[in-house]
Amino acid sequence: MASRLAFANAPTDSRFVFVLLRGALDGLSAVPPVGDPDYASLRGQIALAKAGEGAALPLEGPFGLHPALTFMHKSYAAKELAVLHAIATPYRERSHFDAQNVLESGDLKPHGSTSGWINRALTALPANKTREAGVALGANVPLAMRGPAEVASWSPTKTASLDESTLARITDLYAHDPLLSQRLADALESDAIASEAQAAAESEAGDAAMTMAAKPNAVASDASERRNFNARYVETARAAAGFLKRDDGPRVAMFDTTGWDTHANEGGAQGQLSLRLRGLDAALAALKESLGPTWRHTVVLVATEFGRTAAINGTRGTDHGTGAAAFLLGGAVSGGRVLADWPGLARNNLYESRDLRPTMDLRAVMKGVLQDHLGVPTSALNSGVFPESANVRALDGLIRS
Amino acid sequence: MISTRKDIAAAIAANRFGLGARPGELSAVERDPQDWLVRQIKGAPPVLTGQGLKPSSETLAKAIELRRQGAEEKRSKKNASDDEVQVATALKLPAIYRPVYVDEVHARFAHSITTERPFLERLTQFWTNHFAVSIDKIAVLGLAGAMEREAIRPHVTGHFTDLLMAVEKHPAMILYLDNQASIGPNSRAAKFVGRRGNGRKADINENLAREILELHTLGVNGGYTQADVTTFAQAISGWSIGGQDNSRRLARLGVDNGTPGEFLFREVFHEPGARRLLGKSYADDGVKQGESILRDLAMRRETARHVCTKLARHFISDDPPATVVDRMTRAWLDSKANLPAVYRALIESSEAWERPLAKFKTPADYIYSSYRALGIPLREPRRSLQAFEALGQRNLMPGSPAGWPDTSADWDGSSGLLKRIAWADVVAQRMGDSRNARDLAPQLLGATLGEDTAKAIGRAESGSQALTLLLASPEFMRR
């Protein structure tokens, strides 16, 4: 079938995955600055300990990693994780929806653009690379991936009952409808790729199950892990890997996760946020595992729309804030570092006396990755991809040379 | 006055403003499409009936009782941790809430596919989405449907002020945005909270106040600041729910714990003081302070413009004509936010009757209109509701207080389209030859039925394939 999603002979090996955490991840819990003198008192009962049971996993400087993020901590040790802190988009208000809009559009203000920075970056690739396309894991394409470059969305659909004749007739019926004909072609193409990937995964899983059968306890714990509501993010990550590891597949994938808006009962080493983080950690581990050798060429950016208040509120949670934490992960990342110009949590250092002060522009990180990993030219980064951003320099050295 | 051809206007009235034509409906609508809409917004809205529907206060009272038992258990087992009790309670809550949720959304579904006032139902669900609570927060799972029946339906043809007041005081909204836990640092209760020695200190939770300003009234560019959010949050601190707090300390204070599950102004939680917001002063008069602010917010131009833009986008097109929004805004301000006046300004705008099929249907629209089109019988509640999940729009679960998004780009993803087609095919096979797509197509799509679709249906190799083609057609995907 003819489709613009044919990625034949994509010329770059580099893969990029964007994971958007909607709802504002609490960066001060995900990457707690346990060595900051003001941290424990601001955080009260949700503060993570420096040592002992449920302590933060050690990173360099005053920083730790939430104990739920065990895979990420291993990646840090393997120099495949760079942690970014006190980071923000140009947006300085506290609306989730506007902040996500800015983060996804790459623009200076909310609702200034109907396309996203990833899509525009795809169109700005050097001529011989323009056949690369992206895939959004979900029923619809999020703003960051919308725009002129062809991007498909994929999520599991039961198409078993649809016969070829009906599909052919619908394809004909859409012939004069550019939007629907494009969408249908993309969907069918993605479905074909995904079912191949799934078949491969099932045969791998079959092997694994046979190995496990010898170890009944391992099977039991695996089963209870599956009951976890986070399991769906693991599936999503595996599906993303299925697309990305194909030689002729898309080079860029995106998925998003929700549930980070922890206004009440956020929890510390255990609790609501810790469950979410465990799910994220498991999804990223699954991505690495499923990508196999392709992981070497992969960069994953995990980011959120803004951080949360430095102090806990009256309901053992945190409210909308400013400076956030983000992560760069992957075999192509020059990791094992925390990149932060730490402003400190003393009251007079806080932004508007309440939030972690942002000292790094998230766009500098995005630019660094797009430039050094995917080869997007600087001129495009400074205008088309991130409008009016010439003053924001791409961060160097994020990618392993 | 509109100049659109009557047959096109009829299709627009039934499909763009309604929930999709039912067979035979268009010929009745065609006599006077505009009047068909106007008649629907006159008179009291229908009361939803159905098995298992009960007041939210009754459902919530059960949940509160569950928590009280949990607390008692904790007292008896000295070494049980806070978390253990919380987890045990959290596990029992869905058992109470889930059946209530299923009954609620099933009743709403049944109503949507049979109602003779589909425009009114569209408006109702527009407001529910405008004032979104999302059932992925378990605390509102058993209350979200009741919120629509109790706070929204009665006011859809009334004044925005009453609608706003009813919603912001509804237990579902208060719990969804954490206001029951917002305690003024200078309130009487603050002294007690601080004394517990568990590191907890009383403070304002600004979640509800922020979303009222940003989403429900002024809109994000409505000219308010972080300081306004904080001030407003202080003004509505104490807006809470009866029966929620069973602390003995407060009981000793002689504090009224209200009726379980109903709105309660907890004076002891309220941050005292007169305050100023957006150029107006508000006296220190308890619950009235927040009420006065809400009333003033409802009448502000920014609110009128924000809400009218959303209404016009919902009904007309992703980028609605500014002229229509202006007219609606004026009607809002002139009528003191009398909603039928605003709706009339919408449907009396000629721009609203141009460019048929300008909107891509949401999954819910698509399901409702398919059920209406084919007269698909409802199955047992849990099964009927699976369609919404399969197509990506689970009932009352938009995932955030901003509600479901409302433009084509949010819904027209390739995977989403394939899911619709696959679902349409399953439905078509179930209906088999019991419906004749060739007869139905002109009755459902009227003058908007295109030649390609009519031909494809005519040439289908089976009755059920013809139905699939009808439901998958570009005309039926849009409204």
- Kindly state whether residue B81 falls inside one of the protein's structural domains: yes
Kindly state whether residues B250 and B149 are assigned to the same domain: no
The answer to whether residue B412 is domain-embedded is: no
The mean-pLDDT minimum among A100-104, B250-254, B266-270 falls in: B250-254
Coil, strand or helix at A283: helix
Q: How far apart are CA B4 and CA A239, in angstroms?
A: 48
Report ipTM (2 d.p.). 0.90
Q: Quick one: B467 exposed, middle or buried, by C-beta within 10 A (0-12, 13-18, 19+)?
A: buried
Clarify whether residues B228 and B287 are in a common domain.
Answer: yes
State yes or no: pLDDT of A212 exceeds 50.
no
Q: Are A294 and A359 in contact (CB under 8 A)?
A: no
Asked whether residue B128 carries a pLDDT value surpassing 80, the answer given is yes
Question: Mean pLDDT, to the nearest integer, of A155-174?
Answer: 83
- In a domain, residue B389? The reply is no
Q: Do B294 and B197 fall within a single domain?
A: yes
CB-nearest to A162 from B199, B414, B421 is B421
B369, pLDDT greater than 70: yes
Kindly indicate the confidence band of residue A52, based on its pLDDT and cuts at 50, 70 and 90: very high
CB-CB neighbors (< 8 A) of A173 in chain B: 452-453, 456, 469, 472-474
Q: Which of A1, A45, A94, A169 to mutate to test the interface with B (most CBs of B within 10 A)?
A: A169
In a domain, B388, yes or no: no
B183 CB within 8 Å of a chain A CB? yes
pLDDT score of B86: 63
* Closest-CA residue to B113 (of B30, B25, B34, B31): B25
Interface A-B: count of C-beta contacts within 8 A: 163
| pLDDT for residue B135 | 94
Q: How many domains does chain B have?
A: 3
Domain boundary among B235, B265, B298: B298
Give mean pLDDT, residues A333-355. Answer: 96
Confidence of residue B244 (pLDDT cuts 50, 70, 90): confident
Averaged pLDDT, A69-87: 98
B263 & B332 share domain: no
Instruction: Kindly tell me the burial class for residue B319, based on how many C-beta atoms sit within 10 Å of its own C-beta (0-12, 13-18, 19 or more).
Output: exposed
Would you call B210 and A94 a contact, using CB atoms and an 8 Å cutoff? yes
Pick from A5, A20, A95 the residue to mutate for testing the B interface (most B CBs within 10 Å): A95
Give me the residues of A, 330-389, that contact B with CB < 8 A: 352
Mean pLDDT for all residues in chain A = 86
Q: Do B124 and B104 have their domain in common?
A: yes
Is B71 found in the same domain as B32?
no
One domain for residues B293 and B303 = no
Which SS3 state, helix, strand or coil, does residue B324 take?
helix
Residue B188 sits in the same domain as residue B290: yes
Q: Is the pLDDT of residue B371 over 50?
A: yes
Buried b (16+ CB within 10 A) or exposed e, A343-373: bbbeeeebbeebbbbbebbbbbbbbbbbbbb
Considering only residues A4 and A177, tell me which one the structure prediction assigns the higher pLDDT: A177
Cβ–Cβ gap B452/A190 under 8 Å: no
Min distance B53 CA to chain A CA atoms (Å)? 29
Same domain for B193 and B284?
yes
Chain B residues with CB under 8 Å of A264 CB are 178, 181, 205
Residue B356: count other Cβ atoms within 10 Å of its Cβ: 20
Tell me how long chain B is.
479
Q: Are A11 and A129 in contact (CB under 8 A)?
A: yes
CB-side neighbour CA atoms (13 Å) of B270 = 21
**A298 backbone dihedrals φ, ψ, rounded to 5°:** -110, 140
Asked if B358 is an interface residue toward chain A (Cβ–Cβ < 8 A), one would say no
A184: chain B residues, CB-CB within 8 Å: 414, 417-418, 421
What token pair was written down for B221? Answer: 């560019």
Rg (CA), chain B: 24
Extract the runs of DSSP E, i.e. beta strands, from B174-288: 239-241, 263-265, 275-277, 280-282
**Cβ of A92 under 8 Å from any chain B Cβ?**
no
Mean pLDDT for B129-158 is 96
DSSP E strands in A305-358: the ranges are 324-329, 337-339
Confidence of residue A218 (pLDDT cuts 50, 70, 90): very low
- Which parts of A11-68 fold into alpha helices (H)? 27-30, 39-43
pLDDT beyond 70 at A199:
no
The dihedral formed by the CA atoms of A217, A218, A219 and A225, expressed in degrees to the nearest 10: 110
Tell whether B473 is covered by a domain. no
Which one of B353, B378, B396 terminates a domain? B353
Range of the domain at B22: 6-40+299-353
Checking if the pLDDT of A128 tops 50, the result is no
Confidence of residue B200 (pLDDT cuts 50, 70, 90): low
Taking the C-alpha atoms of residue A388 and residue A383, their distance in angstroms, rounded to an integer, is 6
B277 & B314 share domain? no
* Among A151, A170, A263, A322, the residue to mutate for chain B (most B Cβ within 10 A): A170
Dist CA A361 CA A363 (whole Å): 5
Q: What percent of chain B has pLDDT over 70?
A: 94
Does residue B460 form part of some domain? no
pLDDT recorded at residue B21: 97
If you average pLDDT over every residue of chain B, what do you get?
Answer: 92
Residues in contact with B425: Cβ distance below 8 Å, sequence separation at least 6, in sequence order? A161, A162, A166, B468, B472
Decide if pLDDT at A225 tops 50.
no
Taking residues A138-147, what's their average pLDDT?
Answer: 90
Give the minimum alpha-carbon distance from B388 to chain A in angstroms, rounded to a whole number. Answer: 13
Residue B94 lies in a domain: yes
User: B415–A162: do the CB atoms touch at under 8 Å?
Assistant: no
Task: State how far the Cα of B285 lies from the Cα of A401, in Å rounded to an integer.
Answer: 66
Residue A116 contacts residue A145 (beta carbons within 8 Å): yes
Confidence of residue B313 (pLDDT cuts 50, 70, 90): very high
Using an 8 Å CB-CB cutoff, list chain A residues near B206.
Answer: 319
The pLDDT, as a whole number, for residue A370 is 96
Residue B276: inside a domain, yes or no?
A: yes
Task: Show which of B337, B353, B369 is a domain's final residue.
Answer: B353
Residue A207, pLDDT score: 47
Same domain, B220 and B288: yes
Chain A partners within 8 Å of B392 (Cβ): 139-140, 155
pLDDT at A161: 65
Specify the pLDDT at position B461: 86
Are B208 and B198 found together in one domain?
A: yes
pLDDT digits (tens, 9 = 90+) for B405-454: 999 999 999 999 999 999 999 999 888 888 999 999 999 999 999 999 99
Q: What percent of chain B has pLDDT over 90?
A: 77
